[in-house]
Chains A and B, each alone.
Chain A
Amino acid sequence: MLQIDLWKRLLIWITVAVGLVLALPNLFYPRVEQHNDAVAAIELSGESPELLDQASGWPSFLPSGLVNLGLDLRGGAHLLAEVQVQDVYASRLEALWPEVRDVLRPERDTVGTIRLQPSATGELRVRISQPEGMERALELVRGLAQPVVSLTGAMSNDLNVVAEGSDVVVTLSEAEQIATDERTMQQSLEIIRRRIDEVGTREPTIQRQGTDRILIQVPGIGSAAELKEIIGTTAQLTFQPVVGRSDDANASPGVGNEVLPSLDESGVFYILEQAPVVTGEELVDAQPSFDQNGRPAVNFRFNPTGARKFGDYTAANIGNPFAIVLDNEVISAPVIQSHIPGGSGIITGNFSVEESTQLAVLLRAGALPAGLEFLEERTIGPELGQDSIDAGRIATLVAFAAVLVFMTLSYGLFGVFANIALIINIALIFGLLSAIGATLTLPGIAGIVLTVGMAVDANVLIFERIREELKTAKGPARAIELGYEKALSAILDANITTFITAVILFVMGSGPVRGFAITLGLGILTSVFTAIYVTRLLIVMWFERRRPKTIEV
């Protein structure tokens, strides 16, 4: 009658044991956290007695996965940034101008003189003086186009080249725009990740959301503003030839040139050629250092192509100034003293030590391909997080105790079985949360408390059913069996429907809401498991030992 196969019993106990062991590290949170940090540090930078000591605070044969604490519990900063993907189109087209010039120049006989025209963003406009040669010009410029590699496989070129009067107008094709957006996003994600890693905070979340957004969550950082300083700067470094100096921001620079302000001298503007000689993309290293006068500066080194371009340019332009430009501000405009062949150099300016260090970090991590606009930012102070944890912990314990007492009063011994299952249930939730590396948020704690309340539901259903069956069934064993059998469909239906809403919450929700969905969903899984298997096993084991003639539920 009341029988559970041995293998099933073993499986149940093993599952419970695994859950408990996985949940164990959370009881020793600070110690395990220290251990994990130390292990990570050893992997990164080798052993030191201090680190080894910290690492030995937690035995390595035990699991060390912890429940991540969400920002609302630990404090930290949260940013939702939108990548200005269109920025990239402009710089792509800007960089195209020298190429266009170079292919048209040899054909001057057919197309006449060529001139760059001021153009709207997202297009490159070149005027030729002999419109009769337009056919040839279009053909040549179209020759610059390259096929786009896209997932859809449709063959298309990256450039649209059309004639408008005597202008050749170049724009990026739609396929190329999509491909560019994708690349921009990948790059932005990678660069934000690198910058945050350089600063070295624990477990940052950097996630793409939708087509052009990035979610960044960094625990333990002081404020969102601080975080924005690290990731908000595009850090686009260029070396551009200087045409002249001006004190007027509205000076007309001439076609193909631009006016940029100086970083630290107010009222000083430089007229520069738009197309850079070399860009920060070709940097391989940047380190904070000091110049010969002992002022903070940044040392940099180019890759071989960058070094060649830089070397050639300096050799050809000795005595001319060139500008070092960061995010459209001129850091400095030194005069080229001699040919610089080695591909390394130094950026000087009015830096403080912190500024030069940060600039080096930014240059090393690389420039963001496009600007970021921040749509959402949240800073949660660590004190508030700690308050929330404390309040949550007390509330959970009280809720837990109240339910335990209530169940024992209502169902006696069976209530105690349900309570044991409930404790196992909570441990399993924490075990699962740790195993999948989920994040616990404040609503997540509420989810656990709700689970505490609702987890007993399955047992209540069964116990009430056993009570009913006791009135009619022959003997307690049969009543227990029938109780489980008949309560099952109600338990499953009720929990599946709740589980459906948890899944929808998880898919649609974000941040804290998602944390709630996770604990609610896991709570349903574990509570069904504990109610159907664990309490049943407990009751069966008790029944086998005692063989009571009557039972009271």
Chain B
Amino acid sequence: MISLTVNGKQYEVDVSPDTPLLWVIRDAIGLTGTKFGCGLQQCGACTVQLDGVAVRSCGMAVSNVGTKKVTTIEGLSPASSHPLQVAWIAEQVPQCGYCQSGQLMSAAALLAKKAKPTDAEIDAAMSGNICRCGTYQRIRRAIHRAAGA
């Protein structure tokens, strides 16, 4: 049994210790907002936060999470109230939507660190998250909007 804290809740999961955090979240805990896109930390669809830092959950064995607190898209806010979620709706960001949980988790980690990020800071923080639908310019606008810029 491995114990971990996800979205403020304690879980005991019976999984092999090399299981990527992504699959523990999706298959063992049953939270499917975090997506599988590549399995090689190249697309960012699986992005979650570990103690507030954005990480690719597909590349992290669950045994390495330790006592760090995991936050997934489901734990970003109650009732989609995070300023980024509000901005995402206002800017009508998602198209297919598959990458957007990862985009939001990366953006939230960025805003927690930088209240008003520049375009260059957005590029640096967000370029690990691929959007195949090409919603990048709306994501950028939404981040600025959430930052009150």
Q: Do A and B bind each other?
A: no
